[in-house]
Amino acid sequence: MNSRERFRETMGYGNPDRVPYFEEGIRDTVLQVWRQQGLSPQTDLTSLFPVDQRREIELDLSPRPSFKKWPASMGELKQLRQRLDPDDPRRLPEDWQDIVHTASTQNTVRMLRIHRGFFVSMGVEGWDRFREVMLLLLD
């Protein structure tokens, strides 16, 4: 099975030849220990671990235009909603039409990343905003 077939079979509760495996990266400290245990630096890790192919598609999910100061009250949420317009074509990657056109002909899985974290989506970039968000959640 190719990566796409394996993924579709798994998601459809079928019988794939194995579970899909998408590499997220192996920490350098893990690789160091493996090398101390005998792993050759020339070893191709994809030969040890069957990695499925995927293409990650990232959308622009940030408010447009961005905020100088994030909303801090229920009344300001309307402004946030307006800036999160899902129909804004600038949110799509430049090669979106190509991605759509080739989706059914390529053997890779398309992975659409739609969330990078709860706090990131609330504009947390530092301790001051983190504290503010915690107080808003408490309310």
Q: DSSP label at 53?
A: P
Q: What is the mean pLDDT of residues 31-49?
A: 90
What pLDDT shows up at residue 15?
97
Q: Where are the domains of the chain?
A: 1-52, 54-139
Residue with structure tokens 């309310």? 139
Tell me how many helices (H) and strands (E) the chain has. Answer: 6, 2
Q: What is the pLDDT of residues 61-94, one digit of tens each?
A: 888 888 888 787 777 878 888 888 888 888 899 9
* Cα dihedral 131/132/137/139 (nearest 10): 120
What pLDDT shows up at residue 79?
84
| H or E element that contains 55 | strand 54-58
SS3 111: strand
Q: What is the pTM of this model?
A: 0.60
What pLDDT shows up at residue 121?
66
Q: What is the mean pLDDT of residues 24-34?
A: 89
Token readout for 121 is 């989506």
